[in-house]
């Protein structure tokens, strides 16, 4: 018998230290993803927002085979929430500067 893990078997939620500022230039986003990589979530979120390139930054990469909750930043204004295939994003606040690896514990 072989164990075949699925996203339902592995849940990961980032714990972050954030210094949120009202009206900062970057929005801090809480992103739930399932069955896609962090880079795919980044691409799909930018596409859903109609933004070129990579305005979305995540401080760490997470496994595709996990249900993940991550924090990232968006270098522009955007809607309060966005959903797409394999992800959903909700604004958590604003910050200066972008969230980096130092914020993730």
Active-site position among 9, 63, 65, 77: 63
Nearest-5° Cα angle at 41, 69 to 25: 80
The pTM of the whole model exceeds 0.85: no
From the CB of residue 105, how many other CB atoms can be counted at a distance below 10 Å? 7
* 101 touches 17 (CB < 8 A): no
Q: pLDDT tens across 12-32, in order?
A: 888 877 777 777 778 888 999
Is 7-103 assigned to CATH 3.30.2350.20? yes
- pLDDT category of residue 53 using cuts at 50, 70 and 90: low
Name which of 5-14, 58-67, 78-87 the model is least confident about.
Answer: 5-14
By DSSP bridging, strand 87-95 and strand 81-84 are antiparallel
How is the chain split into domains, by residue range?
Answer: 7-103
Residue 42, token pair as written in the block: 């980044």
29: annotated active-site residue: no
Mean pLDDT value across the chain? 81
Element (H, E) at 43: helix 38-48
pLDDT of residue 105: 52
Does 100 score more than 70 pLDDT?
Answer: no
């Amino acid at each position: 018998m072989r164990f075949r893990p699925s996203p339902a078997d592995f849940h990961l939620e980032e714990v972050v230290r954030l210094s949120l500022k009202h009206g900062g230039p970057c929005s801090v986003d809480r992103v739930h993803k399932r069955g896609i990589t962090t880079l795919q979530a980044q691409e799909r979120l930018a596409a859903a927002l109609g933004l070129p390139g990579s305005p979305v930054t995540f401080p760490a990469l997470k496994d595709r085979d996990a249900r993940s909750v991550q924090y990232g930043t968006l270098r522009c204004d955007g809607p309060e929430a966005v959903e797409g295939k394999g992800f959903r994003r909700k604004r958590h606040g604003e910050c200066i500067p972008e969230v980096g690896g130092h914020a993730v514990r």
